[in-house]
Structure 1
């Protein structure tokens, strides 16, 4: 009887470890897919359908413009998450993924713009 209890405990621990590894692998897989989508992101093609706005030339090249795009994407992501939690009939997983990919790509764009703006001497220090 005691041996059965030990076996059940070991099996439970093994199952918990397997579930944890599975969750971690799933998270890594999703992150890789999001990164791949962010690399394939085309702002002129994808952005108007995601945030219902045309990206103007001044928005595309300036730090403030990209920050505005990110703010709009954040609002859209927040809305999509609310729909998902509420199991609302208008929730669209594909839209949610596309919003996240666009957000990641725009974050990278903002980082590139900020790096270019830093003085050369500060870049050398880091």
Structure 2
């Protein structure tokens, strides 16, 4: 039987994913998305293969946020967690043309 913390983590992950999908569907235009991704990852908007690099970096950042959430680390930020998840979902749903 799953603990209440595991249930909470599962529900939070589900809600964050649903939020990211909703925002990706009706969310920002590609220019806003590009600047959001660049702001989160630190990659310049002119970087070659921005989409591929950003996906890799955002996945690592999301994993770190999840670790920090589980550990109740003071560096954990729910808003940043959601922003990372939203940007990652938008990139993964985008065609290979890039932002």
Q: What stretches of structure 1 of length at least 5 have no aligned partner?
A: 1-24, 60-64, 115-126
From 7, 11, 19, the counterpart of 1:33: 19
Which whole-Å deviations, capped at 9, do the CAs of 1:84-115 have from their partners, x for residues lacking one?
Answer: 11111110001001101111111112xx228x
Residue 76 in 1 paired to residue 66 in 2?
A: no
Counterpart position of 2:4? none
Provide the aligned C-alpha RMSD in A: 2.7
Counterpart check, 1:113 vs 2:96: yes
- Whether 1:47 and 2:37 are equivalent positions in the alignment is yes
- Give the TM-score taking structure 2 as reference length: 0.66
Q: Which runs of 5+ in 2 are unaligned?
A: 1-10
Work out the number of aligned pairs and report it.
Answer: 83
Larger helix percent = 1
- Give the alignment partner of residue 58 of structure 1, picking from 38, 48, 73: 48
CA distance in 2, matches of 1:54, 1:107: 19
Per the normalisation by structure 1, the TM-score is 0.54
Distance 1:57 1:51, change over 3 A: closer
SS of match in other structure, 1:58: coil
| Kept in 2: contact 1:47–1:54 (CA 8 A) | no
Larger Rg: 1
